[in-house]
Amino acid sequence: MKFSYVMLPDYPLSESLASIKKADELGFHAVYAADETWHKDLWLLFAAAAAETSQIRMGPSVSGVVLREPTLIAQAAATLDELTGGRAEVVLSSGNFGLLAQYGIDWAKTKPLSRVKEGVQVIRTLLDDGVITFDGEFFNYNGLFTFARPVQERLPVKMGSMRGPKSFEVAAEFSDGCHHALSYTREAYDYMIEHCTVGAERAGKNVQDLDLGAWVVFSVAEDSAIAKDAARSMVGLYASSMPHEQLQRNGVDPEQLQPIIEAIGAGDMAKGIELTSPELADRLSVAGTPEECVEKLQEIAGAGVNHMILAITDASLVKALMGRELEGVPDVNTQLQLIHDKVMPAFA
């Protein structure tokens, strides 16, 4: 089992760099960050982290191929790969639907899955060959080349998936793995693995050779109530992006979330948190003591997931995004240490 952590790069850059260095020293597989206009630029952050780390892999999870042109993703990834000595990777999606709306883009009209599939093909070709001629439905190139070359023989290009079943099948068939975001039940991950297996078999792959990641909202502390309250503060914000089918696979009635989504959409973060019951928060996060977190992650792992990707939630993140002050929540570095000391050993 691999363990990685994913950040929203909203902290002071010196703090983010210190956390990446800490995760590297503790043996985390990778650090990922959201590639969205709302946050600080992950490519510049990871370029700065390259010289201060030696093992940890890094890249976007996810980078959206609607706003970020795929050949530019390939160029950035290859450059980061050289800087890190072969530690870059990419996870793609169509992008954050809320962010797309702020650009005046209706995600439903972008053919999201077809666009991502074609984006994977474009990035794979440019990374492998350094030149591309391509006449696609979404992207077209005539002899486009780049001097940005990866160090790895095959820089991993993966897909983020939430809805399904086709999103999971396509990820397994055409990319190097599937990161499934924001699911927390064995049922949801059984569904993921079932459909990833279909896609892998179409391509003649063994599904367990792929990177099968569980991307989860996460908070850990020795005090269970403190960790769970931190996670509860963020659940509504993340769950608002979950498709109805996914909510149902996680045992949540989509109607139950509607008042929370409306409050957050109107900018009333405090009401959104107030409407998020502890029961709902517990269902849509992994939070609590190290022992409680291990129990929930083991349930997920039983489906065949081989990579835990932890979106660590601390007081600074809750204050920045939700405007709520929390006392006693361990910071990112403390949680990284707790994961190393008390969560990872259960999966050794």
Domain co-membership, 177 together with 268: yes
* Percent of the chain's residues with pLDDT above 90: 87
The CA-atom distances, in angstroms, between 312 and each of 60, 231, 270 are: 16, 9, 21
> pLDDT for 242-267, tens place per residue?
889 999 999 999 999 899 988 888 88
pLDDT reported for residue 261 = 86
Largest CA distance in the chain: 58
Q: What is the pLDDT, as a whole number, of residue 234?
A: 92
Q: What is the pLDDT of residue 118?
A: 98
We report the CATH number of the domain holding residue 10 as 3.20.20.30
> Are the CB atoms for 29 and 57 separated by under 8 Å?
yes
Report CA-CA distances (Å) from 19 to 11, 306, 332.
10, 23, 7
User: Tens of pLDDT along 76-93?
Assistant: 999 999 999 999 999 999
Same domain, 233 and 330: yes
In the DSSP assignment, the letter for residue 340 is: I
Q: What's residue 343's pLDDT?
A: 98
* Bigger pLDDT: 238 vs 192: 192
Shared domain for 40 and 180, answered yes or no, is no
**Helix or strand or coil: residue 266?**
coil
pLDDT value of residue 229: 96
Contact 207, 196 (CB under 8 A): yes
CA angle 83-172-31, nearest 5°?
30
Residue 109: predicted pLDDT: 86
Kindly indicate the confidence band of residue 218, based on its pLDDT and cuts at 50, 70 and 90. very high
- Select from 130, 155, 180 the last residue of a domain: 155
What is 41-104 written as a DSSP string?
Answer: -HHHHHHHHHTT-SS-EEEEEEEETTTS-HHHHHHHHHHHHHHHTS-B-EEEES--HHHHHHTT
Give the residue numbers spanning the domain of 232: 160-348
The two counts, helices (H) then strands (E), for the chain are 15, 11
In the chain, the number of structural domains is 2
Residues 110 and 189 in one domain: no
Looking at residue 35, its amino acid is D
**What pLDDT digit, counting tens, does each position of 16-61 carry?**
999 999 999 999 999 999 999 989 999 999 999 999 999 999 999 9
Rounded Cα distance, 7 and 247, in Å? 23
Asked if residue 193 and residue 314 are part of one domain, the reply reads: yes
Q: Which of 155, 174, 196 is the last residue of a domain?
A: 155
pLDDT of residue 152 exceeding 80: yes
- The pTM assigned to this predicted structure is 0.95
User: Mean pLDDT in the chain?
Assistant: 95
At 75 the pLDDT is 98
**Residue pointed to by tokens 């502390």:** 221
User: Model confidence at 213, in pLDDT bands (50, 70, 90)?
Assistant: very high
